[in-house]
Amino acid sequence: MEFGTFFVIFGLQWAVNPVMINNISRLGFDYIVPLTAAANFGMAGATLGTFLRTHDKKMKAYSMSALLSILFAGITEPSIYGVGIRYKRPLIGAVVGGAIGGAFIGGLHVKAFAFVFGGLTTLPAFVGSTFIYYVIGLAICFIVGCIVTLIIGINEKEAEKKEVVKNISNGNIKTIDNETISQPIDGIVDDIATATDPAFSSGSMGEGMVIQPSDGNVYAPFDGNVTMLFKTGHAIGITSNKGTEIMIHIGIDTVKLNGNGFKSFVKQGDSVTKGQKLISFDLEAIKNKGYDLSTFVIITNTDNYKEVQLLDTNMHKHGENILSVNV
């Protein structure tokens, strides 16, 4: 499972979950869950290495919030996509750390007694005769992942150069302009700083807003293209024809639902028009499962603008002008 990080990138980790759950229900324990935690802590170490290596203040803030998401919630996506894929080299650190620590954990037959996501808050699920080996294994994953990332570096300048080249090839730099963005979902709007999830409220992912939805439909806030769509349907990225890049993320930790309650009406690469339905979700059913449905609308290329302004708060309908970006 040292390649668990890549499983997450392609959404393949969900295929293994039924096996782990079945093992626990039949045997009372499982050997795979500890290995998934090894992948998480390898990525956590690489993220700390990135935090120590980067000179970008916003990346420092982002990498720290992403690290906390792993350590306390076992959620690796912010780290994988915002750190690993961006700089590439931290993925090497994550895999090496996860492989070495995972070998230690697997070799000593560490057991999990519940199906959980690997983080500090889920340590009780591993309490038993192999618990000490689990803790040592996680420490190995974390320390090795961090050290390898510190040694090989993150090649920050090259990553920034590639991002500029990518933007030029996509026409984003030539077409970027002032733009007014409409609300993508009905609900109560507030500033992103009020969000309960630090990965968003810190602004490290970009400026924007948080919406408490009153309806389970998400609509395109402008004319543009779908640049990213999670298989689970809980998040979508869109780039407007004027160059604004946004991410709409429905709920907190809703990736754990594995797409249950979500339906996508578009696919990655599609052109969309303002007001076109993108995603629907079962608002009440997801709430009843205990999930916070705070929906985040983030300008992911905030750095390209002098100002990102929230035009109003309170209750608004989709299609109303709500954000403006100014170069």
Relative orientation angle of helices 32-53 and 17-27, to the nearest 10 degrees: 130
Considering only CA atoms, which of 58, 178, 151, 175 is closest in space to residue 97? 151
| DSSP reduced 3-state for 44 | helix
Relative orientation angle of helices 89-107 and 32-53, to the nearest 10 degrees: 150
Are residues 40 and 79 in contact, defined by beta-carbon separation less than 8 angstroms?
A: no
Under DSSP, the state recorded for 1 is -
What residues are annotated to the active site?
249
Length of the chain: 327
Instruction: Please enumerate in sequence order all residues whose Cβ is within 8 A of that of 40, keeping only pairs 6 or more positions apart, or say none.
Output: 4, 70, 74, 76, 117, 118, 119
